[in-house]
Amino acid sequence: MSSVLQVTNLSKTFGHGDIFRDVSFTLNAGETIGLFGPSGCGKSTLGRCILGLEKLTKGSVLFEGKDIFRLDRKERSCLQAKMQMVFQHPEVSFDPRRRLIYSVTEPLVYHEKGESEDVLHSLLPLIHAVGLHPGILDKYPGQLSGGELQRAMMVRIYSLSPHLLIADEPTSMLDMSVQAQILNLMKEMQKKNSTACIFISHDPEVMQVMCDRIGVMSEGKCEIMNKNYFSEWIQPLLVMDTMEKDHYECLLTS
């Protein structure tokens, strides 16, 4: 497998404390690594730093061999289409005053992949693939359910054929039945496109389904483990807030 992402000694501080420190891992094409931990552990901040949306205190992020923090604005812009993020709240990606067709075709038009009408025609197979009817594009975001918005968000993202996708709690706000549909769809699209993925969640069951390896985050540390090892220690991890610090660290390093 070819390496898409190399994260080396990433650290970010806020005030006098570490949000995370010395995080390192490599991600290959078609592989998914999860970032698991309680709210406030820094997993979403880590994801944004990897995309270059937030500054680091130290460390490097190599995307396809290029250090994203050493690129100029033009070079960074060229990489944007290849590095995409799925947010927990899909509505933030859509202009509530415009019909869905504008937001869905906007990325391809912005990256000079064609005019709006031509782009829409090229997107029809993808729109059908995510389970949407083309007629829904005439609606406004506020007229759609959470599941429909998340599917439309996937059309926006996968239309650019990204090489790296960071999914930040993409289904946590959806009903259980809709969650399963979206997760299965993400797995299918990833397999089809060999997309490297970082999946952020606090749900251990979702981690088991979606990830090849899992980074457990706590108190600024990120311990990378395979998901089989993760499952053996899932109960201790869920109650880690009630455990002594040294005992918890012993579980991760034993």
The pLDDT assigned to 231 comes to 62
**Domain 3-250, CATH:** 3.40.50.300
Residue 212, Cα to own-chain centre: how many angstroms? 14
Residue-level pLDDT at 250? 44
- Residue by residue, pLDDT tens for the chain (254 residues) are 578 999 999 999 988 788 999 999 999 999 999 999 888 889 999 999 999 889 999 999 999 999 998 988 888 877 888 999 988 888 888 899 999 988 888 888 776 655 656 777 888 888 988 888 999 999 999 999 888 998 898 888 888 889 999 999 888 877 887 888 888 888 988 998 899 999 999 888 888 889 999 999 988 888 888 877 666 555 444 444 443 444 434 444 44
The pTM (predicted TM-score) of the whole model is 0.84
Q: What is the pLDDT of residue 1?
A: 58
- Order of strands across the sheet that contains 213-218: 83-86, 164-168, 196-201, 32-36, 213-218, 221-226
Note the pLDDT of residue 66.
Answer: 92
Are the C-beta atoms of residues 81 and 109 closer than 8 Å to each other? no
Q: Could you write out the three-class secondary structure of 195-249?
A: CEEEEEECCHHHHHHHCCEEEEEECCEEEEEEHHHHHHCHHHHHCHHHCCHHHHH
d(CA 241, CA 38): 9
Quote the pLDDT of residue 230: 63
Give, in order, the Cα–Cα distances in Å from 85 to each of 49, 202, 245: 12, 17, 33
User: What H or E segment, with its residue span, contains residue 192?
Assistant: helix 176-193
Tokens 């039945």 label which residue?
177
Burial class (CB in 10 A: 0-12, 13-18, 19+), 211: buried
Pair type for strands 221-226 and 213-218: antiparallel
Q: Provide the residue ranges of all domains of the chain, joining segments of one domain with +.
A: 3-250
If residue 90 lies in a helix (H) or strand (E), which one and from where to where? Answer: none
